[in-house]
């Protein structure tokens, strides 16, 4: 009996959300789920159709990318996930897609500007786009260096991974994360919608201004501040 049945099930269910949410086609994309107490994570097997894969197909690896359990080869992006879990212990899930609008911004090598309150409901920064990978990174361990590329960008811009839970990789695509896999997938969908809204806005008005700071603060605080009042209390009815 596997020691990782629950972790595999969580990973399986999170991966199935990607095609349901229109974030992937064919076998693109992957989600992983970490168990930091055990020092492992579950991730989608490489190149396996979402329609045919099962929970038991999820692959367990440690944070150094050593196979712990699984009969299939893990996602080709496994080393990226492992590096982020090692560097950022506060995250429990990572999602990578090739969703259309997110990828379009990544290929344009542009940050997604904060133009409206929908964006501010989720984060107070432009969504960063890391520069395309330098040649020396490409020549090394490509997937591992993708993780370095993400962390480098956050360090250079002095961003907090717990506040900004998404990034675009120049010429590549989006990565998102969160406290668990459900939040990581949620952030993938939010990123895609923000990318679409920003593109449409700039098509209508190429000089559309950045959302003013007072509205950024108001919308973010009403959802995430200590006196947040969006939604319902979770106490007894």
78-87 vs 142-157: helix crossing angle, rounded to 10: 40
Instruction: Say whether 161 is catalytic.
Output: no
5-20 vs 181-204: helix crossing angle, rounded to 10: 20
Residue of 121, 126, 152, 180 with catalytic role = 121
Instruction: Say whether 229 is catalytic.
Output: no
Q: Is the pLDDT of residue 228 over 90?
A: no
Predicted pLDDT of residue 85: 98
Domains and CATH numbers, the chain: 5-224 (3.40.225.10)
Predicted pLDDT of residue 8: 98
The span from the CA of 80 to the CA of 89, in Å, is 14
Q: Is the pLDDT of residue 206 over 90?
A: yes
Predicted pLDDT of residue 236: 46
Which pTM value belongs to this model?
0.93
pLDDT, average across residues 86-109: 98
Predicted pLDDT of residue 232: 66
Any residues with CB less than 8 A from the CB of 97 and at least 6 apart, and which? 18, 23, 24, 28, 29, 173, 174, 188, 192
> What are the backbone dihedrals phi and psi of residue 224, each rounded to the nearest 5 degrees, phi first?
-125, -10
pLDDT tens digit string along 45-84?
Answer: 999 999 999 999 999 999 999 999 999 999 999 999 999 9
**Cβ neighbours around 212 below 10 Å, total:** 9
pLDDT tens digit string along 107-163?
Answer: 999 999 999 999 999 999 999 999 999 999 999 999 999 999 999 999 999 999 999
pLDDT, average across residues 223-231: 68
pLDDT tens digit string along 22-36?
Answer: 999 999 999 999 999
User: Helix, strand, coil: what percent of the chain each, to 5?
Assistant: 40, 15, 45
């Amino acid at each position: 009996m596997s020691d990782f049945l629950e972790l595999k099930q969580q990973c399986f269910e999170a991966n199935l959300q990607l095609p349901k949410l229109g974030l992937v086609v064919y076998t693109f994309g992957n989600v992983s789920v970490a168990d930091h107490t055990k020092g492992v994570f579950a991730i989608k097997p490489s190149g396996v159709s979402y329609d045919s894969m099962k929970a038991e197909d999820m692959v367990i690896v440690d944070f150094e990318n050593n196979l712990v359990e699984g009969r299939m080869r893990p996602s080709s992006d496994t080393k990226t996930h492992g590096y982020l879990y090692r560097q950022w212990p506060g995250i429990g899930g990572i999602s990578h897609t090739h969703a259309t609008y997110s990828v379009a911004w990544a290929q344009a090598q542009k940050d997604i500007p904060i133009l409206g309150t929908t964006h501010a409901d989720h984060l107070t920064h432009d969504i960063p786009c890391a520069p395309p990978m330098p040649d020396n990174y490409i020549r090394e361990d490509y997937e591992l260096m993708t993780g370095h590329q993400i962390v480098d960008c956050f360090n250079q811009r002095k961003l907090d991974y717990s506040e900004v839970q998404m990034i675009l990789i120049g010429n590549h695509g989006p990565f998102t994360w969160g406290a668990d896999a459900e939040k990581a997938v949620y952030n993938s969908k939010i990123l895609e919608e923000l990318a679409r809204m920003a593109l449409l806005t700039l098509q209508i008005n190429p000089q559309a201004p950045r959302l003013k700071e007072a509205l950024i603060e108001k919308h973010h605080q009403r959802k995430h501040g200590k006196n947040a009042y969006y939604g319902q209390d979770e106490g007894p009815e």
